[in-house]
Amino acid sequence: MKKAVFNWSGGKDSALALQKVLEEKEFEVIALLTTMNEETAKSSMHSIPLEILERQAESIGIPLYAVTSSTMLKNYEEKMSEAVQHFKEQGVKHFIFGDIFLSDVKAYRESKLNPLGIEVVEPLWEKTSQEVIYDFLRSGIKSKIIVTQADLLDETYIGKDLDQNLINSFPENIDVCGENGEYHTLSYAGGLFKKEVEFSISETIKTSFDFTLDTGEQKTFEYWQAEISL
């Protein structure tokens, strides 16, 4: 099998894509790479504490490799280049991601990794969100919603298991997979997990982030965020 690194977010798409890779046995996944905020010791996108990510990796049976970067990912590219060199020395030529259809995201990954001799692999690529959520519901993987975009899904969705009933309750403007950032999840049991990853949600807080759009316009997005602990 070809050696590969799986880029792990801790959420449902990562879990589904990784399960698919492990079942197909084309790649030997030697590590789960995740990006951490060095100030908070939480994952950059989902704000999952490092301890929970380590427990996920332990349950799956693949070691976690954490890449720490500063707030707003200012030194992200430098840190990722260091990680790539680390894994290339072990014979890795493939990085695997759980993206679905955001072409700009895939193009960005390829633009940064291909020049370093790394091929981007996307097991879920070009499936529709309906196809992916159908595969997820059949996979046996259990995932809870831990982040929502506040103007699209309110705080009552935080901590709920992603199942068909919950998906049916989404407003019509929500991508069922949350591929546009509507929500993020934490996967904790079933499917590829050998044992349940236990965690608790102590509270739900509202956070906000300022983004610069392609047009140069500054826009603030608000999110409901689960405070997660062991």
The torsion angle over the Cα atoms of residues 223, 37, 117 and 29, rounded to 10 degrees, is -90
pLDDT digits (tens, 9 = 90+) for 9-36: 999 999 999 999 999 999 999 999 999 9
Domains defined for the chain, CATH in brackets: 2-121 (3.40.50.620), 139-229 (no CATH)
What is the reported pTM? 0.93
Express as a percent the part of the chain with pLDDT over 70.
Answer: 97
pLDDT of residue 186: 98
Tell me the two tokens of residue 215.
């047009």
> Cβ neighbours of residue 45 under 8 Å, at least 6 residues apart?
9, 35, 184
196/187 Cα distance (integer angstroms):
9
Token pair, residue 136, equals 């997820």
pLDDT band at 215, cuts 50/70/90? Answer: confident
Q: Residue 110: in which H helix or E strand, if any? A: helix 103-113
